[in-house]
Amino acid sequence: MRPVSGLPGSDPRTVGVRSIPALFRDQCGAHPDAVCMRAKWHGIWRPFTFREVWERVRFLSGGLAAIGLSRGDVLAIVSENVMEVYLLEYAALCLGATVTCMYPDVTAEEISYILGHSGAAVLVAEDQEQVDKALIAVDRLPGLRRVVYLDDRGLWDYKHPLLVDYDMLLATGEDASGAEPGRFETVLDTIRQDDLAVICYTSGTTGVPKGVMLTHRFLLDNAYRLLASFGIRSGADYLSYISPAWAAEQITGLALGLLTPMVINFPEKPEMVQHDLRELGPEFLLFTPRQWEMMASTVQAKMLDADRVRQRIYEWAIGTARSVATSNGNGMKRKRRSLRLAIAERLVFRAIRDNLGLKRATVVLSAGSGLSAEIFTLFHQFGVPLRNLYGSTEIGLVAAHWGGEFNPDTMGRLLLTDPTICPPLQVRVDGNGELLISGGSGFAGYFRDEDATDNVRTPEGEYRTGDAVRPTEDGQLIFLDRIKDLRTLSTGHSFPPQFIENHLRASPFIKDAIILGDERRQFVGALINIDAEIVGHFAEKRGLGFGTFTEMSQLPEVRERIAESIRKTNALLDSGSRIVRFATLPKELDPDDSELTRSRKLRRETIESRYKDIIEAIYDGAGECHTKVIVQYEDGKSIAMNAWVAINEIEAEHG
């Protein structure tokens, strides 16, 4: 195909020659009394102005320097999204250091790998749980100089020489800043756009994670792509919820928060996110497909529990929104439909948006993997302008639905880039159907892995995405699947597993789906991980008895409900791609069992190896299967679980 080229943005909030620290200083100077961050503590939202944030970052920078962090060093962070993490990251960047973040549910072994591979000099650990993980690994990490903890609860009698309290670090930095008042800005002035800012570790779906190098230029260029394409207003509220271990949060929370600038809001704790989201009602939201699916499931579950009158009102409202979206007709018909939609808005949709915390949402994005058209359509019926955002850790944000356009079957158009720091994006599809990307701020490479870097670059310097993509006539991109995940049956029929899985997850009863089938198999099968909360509620309401997740997953009524969801998805597929047989897994998929990555992506090889007995039963024509599954706990202990798993038939013919 001929290359598709993007365009430069026209928004005047460009980056120019600035690094993140230089932009931070400029925004603090331009808006000293404006709110920069807002954190919820003990039920109260507390605002922090740019002046207050500047002072704290200055002191923390001095404190980090005092414990040995300097230019070129790595600061590692393992924590939930709390304001102190962002202050420390800005402080480290102002020293010329590099930051790497980890998901808070990492194991001690995973912490050890990332600290060792990155060569981290200082680790920030949020609380006792994270400190305990770190102390298991410190003897193998001679380069680790200090462990800074944010929350001292449970740590009062810890005497390890590496431990440093956050408040003590802040006080030390304040004293140092008083002794050398000009040092902070002197060092800040030495930071350049192409300096390494962040090492972001990939999900590691097929092996150990790789560290992607993100420069200041990369983060600011990607922030501008969102700002210019969506016209995000200065002062917009953003809820920081996705982990800064994910590149998207580094772009949105860290860089876009400064460039726009936005108000970055931090929920009190993870279990309060939905409550805080509703209370805040942010204007800009970026969630993973999993989080949008969970939101949709919450609404659908509540409607299952509602009385029949409320259910009928909800169904009428959804039907009205659907008819308006697909309507043609004459002027009178359109007017009547618009009137009905206004009534549906007042009776149903306004309350749904309010309860979900989406009443003020104007830029609402889903990124990280595919989201089914059914979920997109549902949110649009609610009046939420949910949009696709496509990209990768290595090359950044590439395409989205912006400028008023929306087609749930595509990933949208190429995003606008900052003309002051990089050329427009350009993409093309090679002869194998793989999407290649050039332009923008580019791909800086994998940390300490030149061979892996060379493997994803073409001789012309383009980045190989590994994605099978088809462009439309108007320049939009249709994602098919990962090249390595495209499957062909023994019949010669090809099918896209991820496309099928995305549509299955639109069901509130299905948390994960693993599509089976390859050159050895004649038909498509599936392993289903049920949603324990939704299915449990469904079973209890119908008086179905169960004591464990395993028992619940094998209830005939539950398996029939899953079969109904599969039939709906099968109706979207050609006959050769339809699921013929399936099984509901006897345990939940878990990152601690290496079945999912920390960002909840499927580790297909691990899953197919662990549940090979069930898979063989699906293809052998058995009616049930006895299996043994090893369950791993965070403390390293494991147990063997025995279970009988039913094999379920959807179609008699293999099509």
Question: Looking at the DSSP assignment, which residues form a beta bridge with residue 527?
Answer: 514, 583
Low-confidence ranges of the chain (pLDDT < 70): 1, 204-207, 326-336, 632-636, 651-655
Cβ proximity of 104 and 130 under 8 Å: yes
Residue-wise over 106-119: b if at least 16 C-beta within 10 A, else e? Answer: bbbebbbbbbebbb
Question: Looking at the DSSP assignment, which residues form a beta bridge with residue 96?
Answer: none
Cβ proximity of 210 and 446 under 8 Å: yes
Cβ proximity of 580 and 650 under 8 Å: yes
pTM as predicted: 0.87
- Sequence-distant (6+) residues with CB within 8 A of 87 are 53, 56, 57, 60
The Cα–Cα gap between 125 and 214 comes to: 22
Tokens representing residue 104 in the block: 């808070």
CATH fold match for the domains 22-191 and 291-482: yes
pLDDT score at 634: 61
**Domain with residues 291-482, CATH architecture:** 3-Layer(aba) Sandwich (3.40)
Summarised one tens digit per residue, pLDDT across range 140-190 is 999 999 999 999 999 999 999 999 999 999 999 999 888 888 899 999 999
Please report, for the chain, how many H helices and E strands are present, in that order.
Answer: 23, 29
pLDDT score at 654: 43
Q: What is the largest CA-CA distance in the chain?
A: 80
What is the dihedral angle through the alpha carbons of 617, 623, 627, 632, rounded to the nearest 10 degrees?
90
Tokens representing residue 36 in the block: 């920069």
- Sequence-distant (6+) residues with CB within 8 A of 334 are 327
The Cα–Cα gap between 466 and 245 comes to: 22
- CA 269 to the chain's CA centroid: 18
pLDDT score at 409: 79
Among candidate residues 309, 303, 293, the one with its CA nearest the CA of residue 537: 303
DSSP element (H, E) containing 549: helix 549-553
Whether the upstream peptide bond of residue 261 has omega within 30° of 0, thus cis, is: yes
The Cα–Cα gap between 387 and 379 comes to: 10
Summarised one tens digit per residue, pLDDT across range 83-141 is 999 999 999 999 999 999 999 989 899 999 999 999 999 999 999 999 999 999 898 99
Distance set, CA 519 to CA 103, 487, 491, 529, 583 (Å): 36, 8, 8, 24, 21
Which of 3.40.50.12780, 3.40.47.40, 2.40.30.20, 3.40.50.10490 is the CATH number of 22-191?
A: 3.40.50.12780
The Cα–Cα gap between 578 and 570 comes to: 5
pLDDT score at 179: 82
Topology of the domain comprising 486-649? GMP Synthetase; Chain A, domain 3 (3.30.300)
The Cα–Cα gap between 593 and 609 comes to: 12
Among candidate residues 344, 312, 346, the one with its CA nearest the CA of residue 325: 344
Domain extents in the chain: 22-191, 291-482, 486-649
The Cα–Cα gap between 600 and 291 comes to: 11
- CA 296 to the chain's CA centroid: 16
Radius of gyration of the CA atoms of the chain, in A: 25
Sign of dihedral through CA atoms 138, 142, 144, 145? positive
- Measure the N-to-C terminal CA separation of the chain; round to a whole number of Å: 33
Q: Three-state DSSP class for 107?
A: coil
